[in-house]
Structure 1
Amino acid sequence: MTSMLDGCTPWPEGFVDRYWAAGHWRGTTLDSLLRGWALQHGPRTALVSGGTRITYAALNRRVDRMAAGFRLLALRPGQRVVVQLPNVPEFVVTVFALMRAGVVPVLCPVSHRTPEVAHLVQLAQAVGYVGPSAYGGFDHTAMAADIAARGPFLRRVFTLEAPGTSSPYGGYTTDPAGCHYFPLGSVDAPPAPALPLSAGQVAFFLVSAATDGAPPLLVPRTHNDYAYQAGACAEVVSLTEDDVYLAALPADSGFALGSPGVIGTLSVGGTVVLAETSDPAACLAAVARERVTVTSVVPAVARRWLEVLEAHEAHEAARADLSSVRLVQIGGDTPHPATAERLASAVGCRIQQVFGPAEGPLALTRPADPEETVLTAQVRPLSPDDEIRIVDADGRDVPDGEPGELIARGPYTVRGYYRAPEQNARSFTGDGYFRTGALVHRTAGGDLVVTGRRTGREAPEAASTL
């Protein structure tokens, strides 16, 4: 198996053999999986964004041509590119195209600004940046130019320009620092022969917040581990090609990307509806228009949606038709049971609680679980090969029913952050368990109940966010 990037912590050989033998890892890269999905579901709608609809066949063609365009512009396998795009089709196309070119995307929240993005460029030694020309009143192109001027890595900036706007660096220009600027839409070339890529390599980096205001961390996710995670989640949720998933949360998060999210939905031939904002009016209208069946929210978004839904309850004509929704996932933090119960009643659907940091592991209630289980945040690990322990402050296992910190390792839980040895020493045990920072206890039935978070500098902040 091809080794991971320098600076990543690989799974030990014995664990690799176990995950292959169990069929969790299958040796297919995510971009190669997209080729198969396009062959199987070609004319079906893969992505919806406003009035734009893209079929599986068209998505794969766009990815092919953009990947060839990136290669033509001298992006090389193993190099890193920061991708900072909102929930638009170009996000999906760009991420898959970079992976197809062998380049590693760094999935950066669009809300991050110069300090965080500059740190990620430096940490990843990113040679490229993909972002909007401007978004939400912020000039991303100027930010990229400022970071490029600091050197020495960033030398190619690809900007997605809104209709009717133009960037001062648009159209194949070069700034005084020697950084080249290209409209993202111009990255296009005839498809090139496929590269011999390894599924054991890093597919992309997720961004995880550190503690005490420290710079963000990079979480390396391989093709093998992420394909397994998204596919296993899709199976738990019983996704089919008839499902329509609303990505109401940022697609650069692990929750909306692969739990099962965008990738899990595409893996079964379903349709992904991309929402640029979690605003209740826009999202509920999209649910009604596209007949959405599954979506994911965090408790704060759930509460905002509830305010709108309950305000309209007395005005039937003002309510969106939400009858298509069968499941709403709630993750990122433990909601109050009353919030989950009210949301289920207002939408008329089942609720699924999800715990899962960018690093792994994932624990979920099952759609068929009794209502009292779902409402009290009792969750079970995604994989039969998830190794779960609940430990006290000294690292000793606690009895069932007693609270402790959840630590875990498994086929999709990383073994370390990228180029962060000091943080790895705090966040991972010597035998490879990730310290999630979540305080839980195990019920007599084997379910996990999340009750809070460990405090202190060693507690990884990412465990509270998907």
Structure 2
Amino acid sequence: MSTAFLPDRDKGLSRDLAVGFVPFPAERAEEYRRAGYWTGRRLDSILSEAAAARPDKPAIVDAQSSYTFAELDALADRVAAGFVDLGIAAGDRVLLQLPNSCQFAIAFFGLLRAGAVPVMCLPGHRTAELGHFAQISDAVALIVPDKAAGFDYREMATQLVAGHPALRHVIVDGEAGPYVPWSSIVGFSGTLAEPPPVNTSLPALLLVSGGTTGLPKLIARTHDDYVYTSVACAQACEMTDRDAYLVALPAGHNFPLGCPGMLGSMTVGATTVFTADPSPENAFALIDKYRITVTGLVNALAKLWAQACEWEPVLPTSLRFVQVGGSRMSPEDARFILERLTPGMSQIFGMAEGMLNFTRPGDPEDVVVHTQGRPMSPHDEMRVVDENGDEVAPGEEGELLVRGPYTLNGYYRDDEANARSFSPDGFYRSGDRVRIFADGPRAGYVEVVGRIKDVIHRGGETVSATDLEDHLHTHPAIYAAAAVALPDEYLGEKICAAVVFRGKPISLAELNAFLDDRGASTHARPDVLAPLPSLPTTAVGKVDKKALVARLSSPQ
């Protein structure tokens, strides 16, 4: 496995995971251990325990392959040994960007088994985001496919390596070219004598934030808190080994990874099926073939599936429980999904930063339709505050602040973000405007009524308006720009770039080609380009986005 083509690693980089990590305060950590939430289990023990209990049960399945729990556990050992032989050591961070497949699961567990920390990149991330992640995390390796959805990840890898000397290993699933072939890792002949020890109160993986301001931030999730999340989510969804879970959203997302997702499914011995094509035609065929019972969808996709039940010849009759989230759902859409797709729909409101709310099996229809659920854990703490940080009266609207046994205490290596994102007593400022019902059948349940942060929820992805505007303002033809959300029947919200040009306007295709050249994420490209003579402003000179949206939404 030669890596002579890559620059030598900066010897000053540290494998110490505690550097830049904000731990749980000791008193709260001890409280969560006493309550039994944190059990001192490493995250990959979810697989080894499933393999011991159900060795011959199918664990993961995709269009090309299938592995039992015992086979996957053995593969994780072998792949871990391959990583170690390559030079990836315990504590090293590794950018993981594989599409939905069994290979994603094998790489994920192989990294955990080697004591390395996967950074969960999404398929649409490009050089801007991955370079940012590599810089913050001091990543030493990148795992990518050769090509997917018409994009050549090897070309992006070459750019990343040139700009980040610490990134000394590139592993490619497919035609590897000058890089390390994934097949040589999977086919490694050795095995680990035993996994390196890990401190379960330190990071097991790094999730990425939705990017509410600027580039996405890294979210360190510990072994303790992520095992708890996976176990508790599966229990709340009443999953058993008779269930089968379909990963239809990008597997690197918190939602299909551990809420309950692949990891939660494994805690009860359920099978996980991967697909990179969530279209109704393909997904319904998989649901029928593997008798899928549980999945998680963003609102727009759930609505599309519900509509497709009118014309698809094969219907998803085995589905008993579908979690739907990613943006606020109207009661009308919730009823439509309940009636057409499955009576076992659950609304979920959560964040990669930790806090999860969802409706449960058996909740009254009124609760499922009109709320986004209640907290997963009895130890979840929620405050609703006004613009001055004072708690509002019960049932009133305000910003949601949260902390608990699986909510982060600080972003990874980002003191500036932490200063604005957390209260002095450690509550995370979600940026979501909510109300918590104080009485009646909805008491204790959360309704999301808006947002405080400047973001756009497009098809389940959270896009930072500020980050997109920063990209737009670098174009020489653009004098001023604002990114806003416009309602969309299918995406929930679409991205509109309102632009004041210096001279001759450019087209939407030209603008998106420019963003492509800049390495901007694919899910942050505008759907609509609105040339304007000027942008409306507030009394203090800021762009008035409410007035802008009203102007763009009014009949022309």
TM-score normalised to structure 2 length: 0.77
Deviations 1:327-355 (A, max 9, x none): 11001112222222222222243110111
Partner secondary structure for residue 147 of structure 2: coil
Query: Which amino acid is the alignment partner of residue 177 of structure 2?
Result: P
- Do the aligned residues in 2 keep the contact of 1:5 with 1:78 (CA within 8 Å)? no
- Do the aligned residues in 2 keep the contact of 1:247 with 1:296 (CA within 8 Å)? yes
Offset, 1:378: 4.2
Question: How does 1:296-315 map onto structure 2 within 5 Å?
Answer: 296-310=296-310, 312=311
Partner secondary structure for residue 249 of structure 1: coil
Partner of 1:175: none
Partner of 2:132: 119
- Closer, same or farther: CA 4–183 of 1 in aligned 2, 3 Å: closer
Deviations 1:73-105 (A, max 9, x none): 111111111000111111111111111111110
- Closer, same or farther: CA 455–101 of 1 in aligned 2, 3 Å: closer
Offset, 1:203: 0.6
Question: How does 1:256-405 map onto structure 2 within 5 Å?
Answer: 256-310=256-310, 312=311, 318-405=312-399
Partner secondary structure for residue 14 of structure 1: helix
- Closer, same or farther: CA 462–151 of 1 in aligned 2, 3 Å: closer
- Which sits farther off after the overlay, 150-159 or 12-21? 150-159
- Do the aligned residues in 2 keep the contact of 1:280 with 1:304 (CA within 8 Å)? yes
The structure with more radius of gyration: 2
- How many angstroms apart in 1 are the aligned matches of 2:342 and 2:101? 28
Query: Which amino acid is the alignment partner of residue 198 of structure 1?
Result: N
Offset, 1:239: 0.4
Pair 1:50 & 2:44 matched: no
Partner of 1:436: 430
Q: Which runs of 5+ in 1 are unaligned?
A: 170-180, 313-317
- Do the aligned residues in 2 keep the contact of 1:42 with 1:56 (CA within 8 Å)? yes
Q: Which runs of 5+ in 2 are unaligned?
A: 1-15, 456-460, 465-491, 494-556
Partner of 1:178: none
Partner of 2:48: 35
Percent identity for Structure 1 against Structure 2: 39
- Do the aligned residues in 1 keep the contact of 2:46 with 2:266 (CA within 8 Å)? no
Query: Which amino acid is the alignment partner of residue 289 of structure 1?
Result: K
Question: How does 1:99-118 map onto structure 2 within 5 Å?
Answer: 99-118=112-131
- Do the aligned residues in 2 keep the contact of 1:354 with 1:363 (CA within 8 Å)? yes
Query: Which amino acid is the alignment partner of residue 277 of structure 1?
Result: D
Query: Which amino acid is the alignment partner of residue 308 of structure 1?
Result: A
Q: Which of 145, 148, 155 pairs up with 2:158?
A: 145
- Which sits farther off after the overlay, 263-272 or 322-331? 322-331
Offset, 1:377: 1.9
- How many angstroms apart in 1 are the aligned matches of 2:146 and 2:370? 44
- How many angstroms apart in 2 are the aligned matches of 1:26 and 1:128? 30
Partner of 1:168: 177
Report how many residues are paired: 440
TM-score normalised to structure 1 length: 0.91
Offset, 1:51: 4.5
Pair 1:182 & 2:180 matched: yes
Partner secondary structure for residue 142 of structure 1: helix
Partner of 1:173: none
Query: Which amino acid is the alignment partner of residue 361 of structure 1?
Result: M
Offset, 1:456: 4.9
- Which sits farther off after the overlay, 239-248 or 435-444? 435-444
- Do the aligned residues in 2 keep the contact of 1:4 with 1:200 (CA within 8 Å)? no
Question: How does 1:234-249 map onto structure 2 within 5 Å?
Answer: 234-249=234-249
- Closer, same or farther: CA 423–296 of 1 in aligned 2, 3 Å: same
Partner of 2:92: 79
